[in-house]
Amino acid sequence: MTTAQRADRSRSAATATATATTTVLSALALLWIIALLSRDDPSMGGAALGTAAWWWTAVTLVLQSATLLWRRQATATLGCAAALPLVLAAVVPSGLFTVTALPVLVAAFVAGLTGAWRDVRRWALASGVLVAAAHFVNGSAEARTDGSALVLQAVLQAALVVGLPLLPASVVAAQRATRAAQRETLAAVTRERDAKIGEAIALERAAMARELHDIAAHHLSGISLMASAVARQTVSAPDEARSGALEIREQSNAILEDLRRLVGLLRDVGSEDEGVKTLDTLTGLIETARLTGARVDFALRSDGRRDPGTGVSPLGQLAAYRMVQESLTNASRHAPGAPCVVTVDDRDPSRLRLTVRNAPPGPQARPASRGTGFGIVGMRERAALVGGFFDAGPTGDDGWENRMSIPRESDHDLPEGSA
């Protein structure tokens, strides 16, 4: 049994104890009040405190209330609580019999609140018959009314004591079931959303791993070729230099092979490799977007003292390219027809900044349904991978803006005096 199950069982037992205690105290208090009133009303014969009828009724009330402790079988509890008054009516009929209706009423409410409706209907019908029979037996022994009136009273007693509390109990139980169903639905939706986000992140990471493989493979292959050339050209060099160059080539090949095996486990089978994406390929991306009818403007802000993207790693340039690509895609989906502006700010000697801003959709546009946010997650992860920063949000004119900042690896490639 888990901790949660033990806690639920403990709460259920505490509730049952409180219900039984409250019921027996209320019933005995009512019985005591009736006994006090009987001192001034001789017509309530046998109802005085200390008489046999009073004690038998008190014992019956205690037993009826004790059945309420059996909370796990609330429908059976209702049947037991309804059967005990019949025994009392057969043994010691009196005017105190009416008090026994209180525990039955409580038991009916608890059964309707916690029991299955199929079982409640069956036990409620049986309990109603028992309550009516007990009332008829008690009334017949006192001989206060004729037979037909007594039967009518017995039926009304059963309807009021058993049927009436089932109405509010069924309403409360239905509300509980509705809230439980809503919680389960919300939990299922949350699990499904988390699974989709996890799947999207996994796919995005696999795509980044594939692109990282392309970049690393390109550079490592160059290292391997250069080392091979050095080994062939250093004829006059010492043998140690030649051996070192060969070792460099061997180690480069080993690293390249290990990297291919590792990334091969992550990349998608059947996906086609693409060329390495850099800032130089942004113009081609923007031209492709324009061919689809998109209105895209490109602005490059540079101080002219260095080439755009100088000092930005290949992976950083790839992150910048993918950010622009994803931003234009989102703009075409959520703000079709709205003009976009792609800005590359290369003036800061320590960081490269990119901004993609789109205006709000026009009145005739039909935006796509609300997205899942996976694109934002991917762009933020790409920025974090290269030590950069990504931010996105609405603009003051109801448009949207994505911003990415990518640090330069070092200043050794920058022109002198640019910092």
Q: Which pLDDT value is given to residue 236?
A: 62
Q: Which pLDDT value is given to residue 339?
A: 92
Q: Which pLDDT value is given to residue 228?
A: 64
E strand or H helix at 374, and its extent? helix 374-385
Average pLDDT, integer, range 319-347: 89
Model confidence at 115: pLDDT above 90? no
Q: Which pLDDT value is given to residue 411?
A: 47
What's the angle, vertex CA 201, arms to CA 196 and CA 205, rounded to 5? Answer: 150
Contacts of 108 by beta carbon, 8 Å cutoff, 6+ apart: 78, 124, 127, 161, 162, 163, 165, 166, 169
Q: How many residues does the chain have?
A: 419
DSSP letter for each residue of 283-312: HHHHHHHHHTT--EEEEEE--SSS-TTTT-
CB atoms near residue 235 (< 10 Å): 7
Of 84-98, 142-156, 343-357, least confident by mean pLDDT is 142-156
Average pLDDT, integer, range 46-66: 82
Of 43-52, 160-169, 257-266, least confident by mean pLDDT is 257-266
Model confidence at 265: pLDDT above 70? no
Which residues are bridge partners to 122 per DSSP? none
What is the pTM for the complete model shown?
A: 0.46
Of 7-11, 238-242, 270-274, 275-279, least confident by mean pLDDT is 270-274
Tell me if 376 sits within 8 A of 386, measured CB to CB: no
Q: Identify the band that residue 255 occupies on the pLDDT scale cut at 50, 70 and 90.
A: low
What is the spatial distance between Cα 409 and Cα 349, in angstroms, rounded to a whole number?
Answer: 11
3-state secondary structure (DSSP) of residue 406: strand
What is the spatial distance between Cα 80 and Cα 103, in angstroms, rounded to a whole number?
Answer: 10
Tell me if 352 sits within 8 A of 408, measured CB to CB: yes
Model confidence at 267: pLDDT above 80? no
- What pLDDT digit, counting tens, does each position of 371-402 carry? 555 678 878 888 888 889 999 999 888 899 99
Per the model's pLDDT, the better-predicted residue between 71 and 332 turns out to be: 332
E strand or H helix at 62, and its extent? helix 52-67
Name the one residue in this structure whose structure tokens are 């993918």.
Answer: 322
Model confidence at 163: pLDDT above 80? yes
DSSP letter for each residue of 226-249: HHHHHHHH-SSS-HHHHHHHHHHH
Enter the CATH code of domain 279-407.
3.30.565.10
Contacts of 79 by beta carbon, 8 Å cutoff, 6+ apart: 123, 126, 127, 130
The Cα-based distances of 320 to 217, 282, 303 in angstroms read 20, 9, 20
DSSP letter for each residue of 111-141: HHHHS-HHHHHHHHHHHHHHHHHHHHHHHHH
What one-character DSSP code corresponds to residue 280?
G
How far is C-alpha 213 from the geometric centre of its chain's CA atoms?
36
Tell me if 50 sits within 8 A of 72, measured CB to CB: no
Domain boundaries, the chain: 10-189, 279-407
Average pLDDT, integer, range 128-142: 85
Per the model's pLDDT, the better-predicted residue between 25 and 240 turns out to be: 25
Q: Identify the band that residue 225 occupies on the pLDDT scale cut at 50, 70 and 90.
A: low
Contacts of 184 by beta carbon, 8 Å cutoff, 6+ apart: none
Burial class of residue 226, CB neighbours in 10 A (0-12, 13-18, 19+): middle
Per the model's pLDDT, the better-predicted residue between 64 and 362 turns out to be: 64
Average pLDDT, integer, range 331-337: 83
Per the model's pLDDT, the better-predicted residue between 130 and 410 turns out to be: 130
DSSP letter for each residue of 197-210: HHHHHHHHHHHHHH
Per the model's pLDDT, the better-predicted residue between 213 and 110 turns out to be: 110
Q: Identify the band that residue 120 occupies on the pLDDT scale cut at 50, 70 and 90.
A: confident
Per the model's pLDDT, the better-predicted residue between 304 and 185 turns out to be: 185
What is the spatial distance between Cα 365 and Cα 396, in angstroms, rounded to a whole number?
Answer: 20
Q: Are strands 389-394 and 351-358 parallel, antiparallel or unpaired?
A: unpaired
Percentage of the chain with pLDDT > 90? 12
Of 73-82, 197-206, 294-303, 350-359, least confident by mean pLDDT is 197-206
Model confidence at 285: pLDDT above 60? yes
Burial class of residue 47, CB neighbours in 10 A (0-12, 13-18, 19+): buried
Burial class of residue 175, CB neighbours in 10 A (0-12, 13-18, 19+): exposed
Model confidence at 288: pLDDT above 50? yes
Output the six-digit token pair for 17.
Answer: 């104890």
Q: Which pLDDT value is given to residue 370?
A: 55
Contacts of 341 by beta carbon, 8 Å cutoff, 6+ apart: 296, 297, 298, 299, 355, 356, 357, 358
Percentage of the chain with pLDDT > 70? 73
